[in-house]
Structure formats: C-alpha cells, structure tokens
Amino acid sequence: MSTAGLPLPSPARQPLVGHLGRWGREPLALLDEGARLGRVFELRLWRRAVVGYGPDWNRLVLGDLDTFRSKGSLSALSPYLNGGVVMTDHPDHAPRRRELNPHFHAGSVATMRDRLEAVVAREAPTRRFDSLEWALHVVPPMLNEAFFGGRFPQSLLTTFVAPLHHPLPWPLLPRPTTFRQVDAAIARVLADPAEGSLAHALTGVDRAGEELRVALAAAFDTTAHTLAWALWHLAGTPNDGTAEEIRAVIQETLRLYPAGWLGSRVASRAFSFAGHAVPPRTLVFYSPYLTHRDPELWPDPERFDPTRFQERKPPWGYIPFSAGERTCLGMHLANLILEVALTPFAAGRAKADGGDPTPRTGLTLSPRGPLWIEVVERRPRHA
C-alpha cells in the first residue's frame, strides 16, 4: 500500500476478503502472525490498516495527536465511546484534559477508598466463586460509588454497561432508550451531586453529563476483566498481602492481558516509519497486547511473573493505559478499584481452583473463564 518506500509486510490473505475473515474469527492469532513479520505490518480489513508495536511505533503514534486522530477510529463505531474526551481531537483535546485531569489524579480519587472498601465488604463472596462473574457484579456498584456517590439507580447502571462485556457486535449496537434514561439519570445526580463523587467534581464542567457517561462506559469492562484475571492470579501466587505485592500482580495482569488490547487512530497526513511510507487517511493501530508480549522487551513473555516489575519498565514498552496525552483518564481510579477489590483476598485468604484464563477478544480483552476461587476460612478457632 506504500506510495513510496519499502513495501509493508502482510500475513497471507484470502481472495476478496483479505484478512477480514480471520480478523472476525481469531484476531489475536492474526496479530501474532503479523508481528512475526516485523514491528509494522499491513492488514486488509474493511479498509487498509497498518498495525505496529514496540517503543518506537508507540512513541510515534501516541506522541502526535495532530497526525493520529481519534475521529473515524474504531472507538467511534461504538455508541458507548463515541463522545466526550474520547472523541475530542487536537487542538481541543489538551484543554479538555487540563480541565478533567485534576479530578482523576491519584490524590483526588484516594478520598474514595473507604467508600469503595465498604462496597467490596458488602459484596464479598463467602464460598467458592467465579472471579469473572464476581468482577462483573462488583465493579458496577463500585463505579456507582465513585461516579455518583451511589445515587445512580443501580439496575439502570448495570443494564447500561452489561453489553460492553458481550462479544461483538453487542457493544456496537445503538441503544437509544437506555442512553436517554442514563442521560436523564446523570442529569438528576448532577442537580444534587454527592460530595466526594466524580459527579460533584465535574459540576459546572461543559457537557459534564456526556463525559460521565462515556467515562463510565470506558471504566466498566476494562476494570472488571482486569480484576477477574488479577484476582485469580493473586489467589494462585503465594503472597503476604503487602500493597507492593498486590500492585505487582495488577501490573503483571495488565501486561499479559491488557484490556485495551488494540488502539486505533486515523492518519490525518502521510507519515513514514522505518522506511515505510504510509498515506493519509490510513487506519492505524497500536497494540498493547503485542508490545507486552514482545520477547525483546519482556523475557519469557507468556509467563505470569509479578517480580519482573522490580526491574525498570521499558520506556513506551508498557502501555496498558496507553501513553502520552491520551493516557487513560481513569488510570488512578482503576488502580484504586483493583487494589481495594483484591486486598480482602490476599495473604492466602483465597485459592485459585482451576479455570480458563485464555484471552477472548471483544471491545476489550476478557478471560474466557470461568476462573474459580476457593475462599479460605481463617477465622480464629474458639475453644
């Protein structure tokens, strides 16, 4: 597809449909095959696309919001993500983030810890359970607490986010009635927001309701899927339950199973990379999944090993929350939710008991599941 320069390598394609069939059936295998051809390769999907991975590609694509735009990207295909800051491009993106960022900083969200702990204590299972099912169950009320101080109708919130966990095309289908109800419910909360909630923090911000709706959608399946894997691995790894150990399990989970496995942009102008010239309007992908499984960056990449985070992370080589100006707005909230939800199960209080952690693709990566956990009773015995 290059107009000049070196031709891009490309996995074997079928006549007429190109890579579209395999993209639908086994996108991770297709990406792995492309990655073996080079750090940048071409796919023929419904349109031509260029996929790259590794620090140089990530820095190029994520460091230049003028060339690499979100409008027209895959996120725009889902009504859940087609709005707010997610779809705000250069030059409006930077001022928008400056307005939103302070409310999502680590220090701001840390004030929510006690209330999130109370949700987990209320919802904690007491017998053998599937961590995927529990994660999908506990994350919505935690988000209700963080976003709305618990004042949003819980059943509407659950109905709104549920399709995000389902295979494609469910997260892409329009749901005008639910979206109208959600917008109306957010407007009611914004009229009388609970102190300490994101709704309270965003009161007065232009289009606060839309930002809250889009962020809620961006928060749900990403956090729930990560929690499911992290809990199962934590319960399968001997640990003393220190905050550092729990954080390392979260980091390693996000390396091996980055929920945002593939990000997309549209090139607003021609660019070149490693001698390959790419024309304007090309669909461009960056891949945390491929980057995190690159053996040059991550020795023995398929192995779950939280101790690898004792070493320095390769710059632009660890991007579960993306990188650059579009780094996930909810990164600190996600880490807080994960830490709070994992802590009661650390230090031997839960044991992994079989299951299938194989990643399955959808809008986000999720475990095929189930992921069984045995709750270990550690109450002191009475004479």
Judged by the rule CB under 6 A, the positions of this chain that interact with ligand HEM are 75, 85-86, 97, 215, 218-219, 222-223, 226, 259-260, 263, 320-322, 326, 328-330, 333-334
Q: How far is residue 259's CA from residue 359's CA, in Å, rounded to a whole number?
A: 9
We find the least distance from the C-beta atom of residue 325 to ligand HEM, in angstroms, to be 7
Q: Is the CB of 320 or the CB of 357 nearer to ligand HEM? A: 320
Is residue 76 a contact partner of residue 82, using CB atoms and an 8 Å limit?
yes
Q: How far is residue 40's CA from residue 286's CA, in Å, rounded to a whole number?
A: 10
We find the least distance from the C-beta atom of residue 6 to ligand HEM, in angstroms, to be 27
We find the least distance from the C-beta atom of residue 349 to ligand HEM, in angstroms, to be 23
Q: How far is residue 140's CA from residue 153's CA, in Å, rounded to a whole number?
A: 11
Q: How far is residue 248's CA from residue 243's CA, in Å, rounded to a whole number?
A: 9
Q: Is the CB of 235 or the CB of 323 nearer to ligand HEM? A: 323
Q: Which of 260, 255, 217 is nearest to 366 (CA)?
A: 260
Q: Is the CB of 2 or the CB of 343 nearer to ligand HEM? A: 343
Q: Is the CB of 9 or the CB of 179 nearer to ligand HEM? A: 179
The angle that helices 208-234 and 331-342 make with each other, rounded to 10 degrees, is 40
We find the least distance from the C-beta atom of residue 168 to ligand HEM, in angstroms, to be 16
The angle that helices 154-161 and 208-234 make with each other, rounded to 10 degrees, is 80
We find the least distance from the C-beta atom of residue 210 to ligand HEM, in angstroms, to be 11
Q: Is the CB of 242 or the CB of 327 nearer to ligand HEM? A: 327
We find the least distance from the C-beta atom of residue 332 to ligand HEM, in angstroms, to be 9
We find the least distance from the C-beta atom of residue 264 to ligand HEM, in angstroms, to be 7
Give kind and range of the element (H or E) at residue 295: none
Is residue 199 a contact partner of residue 189, using CB atoms and an 8 Å limit?
yes
DSSP one-letter string for 19-53: THHHHHH-HHHHHHHHHHH-SEEEEESSSEEEEE-
Q: Is the CB of 54 or the CB of 330 nearer to ligand HEM? A: 330
CA dihedral 65, 68, 69, 70 (to 10 degrees): -100
Q: Which residue is nearest to ligand HEM (CB)?
A: 330
Q: Is the CB of 30 or the CB of 329 nearer to ligand HEM? A: 329
Q: How far is residue 371's CA from residue 162's CA, in Å, rounded to a whole number?
A: 19
Q: How far is residue 101's CA from residue 81's CA, in Å, rounded to a whole number?
A: 18
